[in-house]
Amino acid sequence: MKSASTLSSAFLQSAGQALPEPLLALRANRASALTDLLLPTRKTENWKYSAKHLKLTDEMASSLPLNASAGAEADIQGYTVVLVNGVVRPEASNYPALEGLSIQRFSDLNGDDAELAADLLGKSISDQPAKHGSINLSLLNAARFEDGLLIQLQPGTVLNQPLLVIHHTSASHSGSAFPCILVAAGSNSQLTLVEDYVSSGESPVMVNTATEFSLGDGANITSVRLNTEGQNVQHMGTTGVRQQRNSRFASHSVGFGGTLRRHDLHVRLEGEGAECKLNGVVVTQGTQHYDNHTTIEHIAAHCNSEESYRNIAADKSHAIFNGRIHIHQDAQKSNANMSNKNLLLTNGAEIDTKPELEIYADDVKCAHGATIGQLDNESIFYLVSRGLSPRDAKVLLTMAFINELVAQIPVEQVRDTANTGLNQFFDQAFQEV
């Protein structure tokens, strides 16, 4: 298990044979741009805290089987699309034939739809592999995807229940997967998209995801992201969002730590009056890791952004939050609010938080705050003095730290899954002695 040092040696080119011509061309372009790009090290600015968790081996370079079956997700209710190892499984999926909504897999695209997908792909994410000492591994996805989903909403189309996308990684042996989702939301359309990242099998694998949203004027899109993959999965995910006039985007992410967990969320407020709200909850324990990088670009005037991320780190785990707000010169009357609160459950845990503000307009409101604290002993004593076990007291206090954000997740099924995961986390983190 030799470890790789350059991207081209780490990731073999494979087929993508089922893809339509415009996507194949784009894929080849991206792949050549990545040739000889070095893998990040701790000296790489945006991988400073995470490079040591990135442990890629030659075995992970090849794609995971493209025909693996979905397994036991049968009893899922509602509109569902299942991807296994980045490939859509129509037989396991169930989504509506609704006027104004089209859900197509990449390999079925042709004509204008194929052009649209190629046009959208990578547009909301920086297309430079390396810049200012940073390395953009999200580009790997565009160089390696085998399939993907194009979701199109015609103007005014409203989906009245969430669309659930299950990204299943089947890790029966080592390899990598590159799931990709594109959402083109026409003006005044509405959709809640839930992405649930799960895995089966125990072999070391890498999952590199890309999800891109393009919101037309007045579109209202909610993105929910849940990660409960196994500890054998190294996960690097990217979500890119472009927002036109008066559109609204809300993101709710719940992440459980792993060997490598990284999510980059990049929102571009391109039209006046656009608003985004980004919530994130992360819990880590053992020697787990989780790294959230967010960027909000205020490009047009009169846009609002509201961001709240909370991390809880137990044992010897490590959680990272890097929040960048970039207010462009023309983005007058911008209103940006960023908060990151962190809870260290042990002295051995580590949390790094870094706000980055770049403000080039003069008439803006921009507030940010970051705190790192521990559970309050006085509060624990108060609760325990009423007969609660120390564990229950700590669970109540820890839940209180994130409950506000969990409660805002607009999909009950996701809240339930999140709470189940949180309870398992508490069972481990607060073992009774």
Q: Which residues bind other proteins (CB under 8 A)?
A: 376-379, 381-390, 392, 396-397, 399-401, 403-404
Which residues lie closer than 8 Å to 420 by C-beta, 6 or more apart?
A: none
Instruction: Please count the other Cβ atoms lying within 10 Å of the Cβ belonging to residue 427.
Output: 12
Would you tell me the crossing angle of helices 111-120 and 21-34 to the nearest 10 degrees? 20
Which residue, 378 or 412, has its beta carbon nearer to other proteins? 378
**Alpha-carbon span 195 to 392, nearest angstrom:** 31
The CB-of-433 to other proteins minimum distance in angstroms stands at 10
The CB-of-408 to other proteins minimum distance in angstroms stands at 13
Range list of β-strands (E), 257-344? 260-269, 275-284, 289-298, 304-313, 318-327, 335-344
Which residue, 376 or 427, has its beta carbon nearer to other proteins? 376
The CB-of-386 to other proteins minimum distance in angstroms stands at 4
**Alpha-carbon span 137 to 319, nearest angstrom:** 19
Which residue, 366 or 396, has its beta carbon nearer to other proteins? 396
The CB-of-376 to other proteins minimum distance in angstroms stands at 8
Which residue, 191 or 254, has its beta carbon nearer to other proteins? 254
CA torsion sign, 68 to 418 to 421 to 259? positive
End-to-end CA separation in angstroms for the chain: 39
Rounded to whole angstroms, what are the CA distances from 151 to 63, 120, 301, 392? 24, 11, 29, 44
The CB-of-378 to other proteins minimum distance in angstroms stands at 5
The CB-of-404 to other proteins minimum distance in angstroms stands at 7
The CB-of-181 to other proteins minimum distance in angstroms stands at 34
The CB-of-338 to other proteins minimum distance in angstroms stands at 20
Which residue, 361 or 380, has its beta carbon nearer to other proteins? 380
Which residue, 254 or 300, has its beta carbon nearer to other proteins? 254
**Alpha-carbon span 240 to 266, nearest angstrom:** 5
Rounded to whole angstroms, what are the CA distances from 186 to 78, 219, 271, 341? 23, 7, 14, 35
Which residue, 296 or 393, has its beta carbon nearer to other proteins? 393
Which residues lie closer than 8 Å to 416 by C-beta, 6 or more apart?
A: none
Instruction: Please count the other Cβ atoms lying within 10 Å of the Cβ belonging to residue 348.
Output: 13
Which residue, 111 or 387, has its beta carbon nearer to other proteins? 387
